[in-house]
Structure 1
Amino acid sequence: MAEIQVAIDRFSELPLEIAHHILSFLPIADVTRVSSLSKRCSRLRLSNPTVNFHSFPSESTLTFQKRLKLWNSLDRFLVQRRNNKHLGEMHRLEQVEISLSSYHVNDLDRVCEQLLHSISSVKYLRLDQVTAKIVFREGFTPAPLGNVCNLRMWIWCNIDDKLVAAMTSLFRAVPNLTTLSVSSYPEYPFLGGGTNLSGFDKGYWELQRFDFVRNLEQVTMELTSGSNGYELAKYLLEHACNLKMMLVITTPDQSSLVPEIRRSNRTSNATVDILEKRRRNRTSNTTPDHSSVGYDLVKIASSSCLMTKSHVEMNV
């Protein structure tokens, strides 16, 4: 008689918090695959407080029709989350990472409105500069994200004027922000490039009268070519009255900005550290893949010390 083997679904037996923690490391495409394993896994997909909208399979984004199909499937998923009766207050979406790559979607305003409405409970928001330009583009009034307290924007190109317009719209939507980071993505090289990089000075930011500035406690700002990033950093340093810590990341050719930042008229007792981004020395003569290029961040100045040489162990 043939022996009958029964597969045991151990994942479905895990405590809810542990299952959610495991799923938090997976992009939404993989979470969707897991949800097909059992009814409980399907519920976990809808109750997971962390959702990563990135790393979609390439075959899902090759053509306009495929991208539209992807948008529609994400739309259905977010509607299901909103209507999910299994969700309690503890299981509401708290952290989301979004990475989009195309404007070519029918009725983009409606899609963005539904997306923002579906993540209205989010506390930790991660997105890249392309996504910011799409979702928070100039002329579109986003729904408020009043629960967001931690915002991280990944950049791989310079902060151009179009990104500033998107950032302005984004900042209006997050009045209770306490932690802000605008820096390059650790896993990808910084590409630079772009035009119109110096169209907005500190006076522009002052005219916006953002609500979040009075709540801001921690800021990380990577300066890029042009003055847009520098002017934003100076504005935040001078107007964030409850600021406790600011990290400013520069490159060697931006050393002239360090004294200017240090002379800013702060309204807080914030500690300000200036970190210089230096390409890591290679031990091999072979040309590495750009994705593996590493950088060291070296502290060159702080609010309490004019010049230090302490090495900060960070990979960027």
Structure 2
Amino acid sequence: MGPKRKLLATTSSQAQGACPDHMKDRFSNLPDEVAHQILSSVSILDLTRFGTLSKKCRELYLSTPSLNFDEFNNWNKSSYAKQFKLLSSLDKFLVHRRENKIQCFRICWSLSYGKAASLYNELYRVVTWIHMAVRCNVEVLDLELRIPDTTRLELPSCIFLCGSLRSLSVHCNKILTAPSLVSSTNLQYLKLTNVTVDEGLCKWISCSCKCIKELHLEHLWLELVHGAKQITISSSSLETLRFISCYAYYSFQNPSGNFHLNISGERLEDIYIDWKVIPTGHSISIFAPNLKHLKWIGTLASRQYLEKLMCLEKAEIFLHPRSEDFSKLFSVLSSIHSVKLLVLNEETTKALTKERRSLPRIFDNLGHICIQSTCLNDGLVPALASLFRGMRHLNTFHMKYEPIIPLLFTKHVEASRFDREYWKSQNLAIIDQLEEVTVELSSGSNELEFARYILEGAKNLKKMVIVYLPHQSTRIEAVNEIEMNSPATIVFKKRPRRPKPSYSP
């Protein structure tokens, strides 16, 4: 049986008669911008077939502004002759386009592990396509290239000098060489994934990307030769930064080199950090006076320097602190003490409440807090009570259920030890300030007992939302007993049961 997909050069005969004449005319009569919008979601294979239907269709085929070369990876296992025909067909298509504008061009390509000559020919073709896209004033360029380890790749400098380019995404297991610092670019969006970089590329981003608004650095490999190395991003235009765990190549002469992440931007409004490194010797520094949203996942560094974030509206701190990390955690939370909404995971909440004497200095003016956990387990309840003692102006509290995938041999979590009498014994002054509370039920009775305590004691409560699973409908009947005596509006929401994960042998 032959391959399912035919070469672009041989699709004409298959395409003839694929569409009735009245359908051809109906499509041909559409305004070009409407036709292009429809064709932007069509694969290059089907686009080529469409181009054989009529003269008008061929014009639209050669002027379509969005191209997607990502469906031919299965040809890597074909014969060299078939690969050559395929590559030649794609080459001819781009040549025939002449200089018709390319708005968006995506190349997802896995180079074949064949003879060196064919491999480098294939790589040469891909680089040529990039040159053609630049010639056609491409605005969005998305490159996902999988290249054998023994093959070198150097992206053409024309990418970084392309005045029309607004968005660039590079996902590649190769070194990305920094362009000259004197070069300038109009890039507004840049995403680098799985590439190896040096400090020079970060300097180029800081010095030459004067229009950049959104930057994603994900799973980078940083070349370290000697001493402490760092990624420094300093931008006067950047608004959004996403940084996910940077890895490092250390030299044999200095296997303990340190890594430092420095972020600085007066217009930064949104920062996402997923930092999972051994904290020894590493540091994070953030200067973003106008930051509105901060999300930090993973671990703390040895040292973190956060300027006071006075404009922060929402902070999500999902850390896994060690027992000796309290002072570091306290420092981070002190820098965001003016935040309007604080979201903490279970591990951060427990670590924070081990030393209670300093809590009021952090949360004295906090009005809205959300705790995310798999359940209100017996270990979290005392920590939550301690957290409440450090708050005087809290008016909105959410207990959010965050499920995890069940694992074999998972230890059973106790979540039914603390009832209303325990909460009453804490004498929490904050209960009179609460106006809105949301509780999502999971396992055990702790959440329900906590909800009943709030309904009975919160004099100024205006609204309580109780989210429950279908099998928990009988448990919430206890709330109905006190519903008539509470001034609050009580809303019950049924949460659909998530499907059980499937396990394959």
| TM-score for both structures, normalised by structure 1 | 0.65
User: Is the 1:221–1:233 contact (alpha carbons within 8 Å) kept by the matching residues of 2?
Assistant: yes
Find the aligned partners of 1:194 and 1:66 in 2 and give their Cα distance.
37
Shift of 1:164: 0.5
Quote the Cα distance in structure 2 between the aligned partners of 1:34 and 1:269. Answer: 54
Answer yes or no: is 1:181 the counterpart of 2:398.
yes
Aligned to 1:92: 311
The equivalent residue for 2:294 is none
For 1:266 and 1:172, the matched residues in 2 are separated by: 29
SS of 2:316 mapped into structure 1: strand
Q: 1:102–1:199: structure 2 CA closer, same or farther, 3 Å change rule? A: same
Deviates more, 1:114-123 or 1:230-239: 114-123
CA contact (8 A) 1:200 1:228 kept: yes
| Distance in 2 separating the partners of 1:262 and 1:225 | 20
Partner of residue 344, structure 2: 127
Q: What is the match of residue 65 of structure 1?
A: 280
Which secondary structure does the structure 2 equivalent of 1:203 belong to?
A: helix
Identity of aligned residues (%): 27
Counterpart code for 2:305? F
Q: Secondary structure at the match of 2:496?
A: strand
Shift, 1:261, TM fit: 0.7
1:136/1:166 contact within 8 Å kept = yes
Question: Matched residue of 1:257: which SS?
Answer: coil
The change in CA–CA distance for 1:278 and 1:71 in structure 2 (over 3 A counts) is: closer
Query: For the residues of structure 2 that align with 1:138 and 1:37, how far apart are their CA atoms?
Result: 36
Cα distance in 2 for residues equivalent to 1:232 and 1:67:
41
Q: Tell me, in whole angstroms, the C-alpha distance in 1 between the residues paired with 2:498 and 2:350.
A: 31
Q: Which residue of 2 aligns with 1:231?
A: 449
| Gap change, CA 1:92 and 1:213, over 3 Å in 2 | same
Q: Tell me the equivalent position of 1:148.
A: 366
Aligned-partner SS, 2:466 = strand
Aligned equivalent of 2:185:
8
Q: Is the 8 A contact 1:239 1:267 kept in 2?
A: no
TM-score, structure 2 normalization? 0.43
Q: Which residue of 2 aligns with 1:55?
A: 274
Whole-Å separation in 2 of the counterparts to 1:190 and 1:263: 34
Q: Distance in 2 between matches of 1:178 and 1:229?
A: 19
Q: 2:304 aligns with which of 76, 80, 85?
A: 76
Partner of residue 265, structure 2: 44
Q: Structure 1 residue 287 and structure 2 residue 502: aligned?
A: yes
- SS for the counterpart of 2:344 is strand
The DSSP-based 3-state class of the residue aligned with 2:274 is coil
Q: How much has 1:260 moved relative to structure 2?
A: 0.5
Instruction: Give the match's secondary structure for 2:379.
Output: helix
User: Is the contact between residue 159 and residue 228 of structure 1 (CA under 8 Å) also seen in structure 2?
Assistant: yes
Pair member with larger Rg = 2
| Cα distance in 2 between the residues matched to 1:48 and 1:169 | 34
* 1:277 Cα deviation after fit: 2.7
Residue among 199, 204, 217 paired with 2:435 = 217
Looking at both structures, which has the greater relative contact order when contacts are Cα pairs under 8 Å and sequence separation is at least 6?
A: 1
Q: Does 1:115 align with 2:326?
A: no
Residue equivalent to 1:294 = none
The residue matched to 1:36 in structure 2 has which SS? strand
1:76 maps to amino acid: Q
Q: Report the CA distance between 1:101 and its aligned residue.
A: 1.4
Secondary structure of 2:495's partner? Answer: strand
Sort the Cα spacing of 1:250 and 1:40 in 2 relative to 1 into closer, same or farther, 3 A. Answer: closer
Contact 1:49 1:92 in 2 (8 A): no
Q: State the shift of 1:141 in Å.
A: 4.4
How far apart in 2 are the matches of 1:26 and 1:171?
37
Once the two structures are TM-superposed, the CA of residue 77 in structure 1 deviates from its matched residue by 2.4
Residue aligning to 2:86: none
Structure-2 separation of matches of 1:168 and 1:244 = 21
- Taking structure 1 as reference, are residues 146 and 262 closer, same or farther at Cα in structure 2, changes over 3 Å only? same
Distance 1:260 1:134 in 2: 33
Task: State the partner residue of 1:305.
Answer: none
Alpha-carbon contact 1:244-1:268 (below 8 Å) kept: no
Letter in 1 for 2:233: S
Q: Greater CA deviation, 169-178 or 34-43?
A: 34-43
The whole-number CA distance in structure 2 between the counterparts of 1:209 and 1:244 is 21
Residues in 1 aligned to 2:488 and 2:319: alpha-carbon distance in whole angstroms = 35
Could you tell me whether the CA contact under 8 Å between 2:415 and 2:445 is conserved in 1? yes
The aligned amino acid for 1:65 is T
Say if 1:201 and 1:231, in contact at 8 Å, map to a contact too: yes
Instruction: Tell me: CA distance 1:137–1:190, structure 2 relative to 1, closer, same or farther (3 Å).
Output: farther
Q: Is the 8 A contact 1:205 1:235 kept in 2?
A: yes
Q: Evaluate the alpha carbon distance shift between residue 266 and residue 209 of structure 1 in structure 2; reply closer, same or farther with a 3 A threshold.
A: farther
The DSSP-based 3-state class of the residue aligned with 1:96 is strand
| Preserved CA contact (<8 Å) 2:283 2:304 | no
Give the secondary structure class of the aligned counterpart of 2:370: strand
| Preserved contact between residue 240 and residue 267 of structure 1 (Cα < 8 Å) | no
Answer whether contact 2:234 2:264 (CA < 8 A) is retained: no
Q: What's the secondary structure of 1:125's corresponding residue?
A: strand
- Is 1:258 paired with 2:476? yes
Which digits, 9 at most, give the CA deviation of each residue in 1:164-199, with x for residues without a partner? Answer: 01111211223212221112238x558896433222
* Number of equivalenced pairs: 255
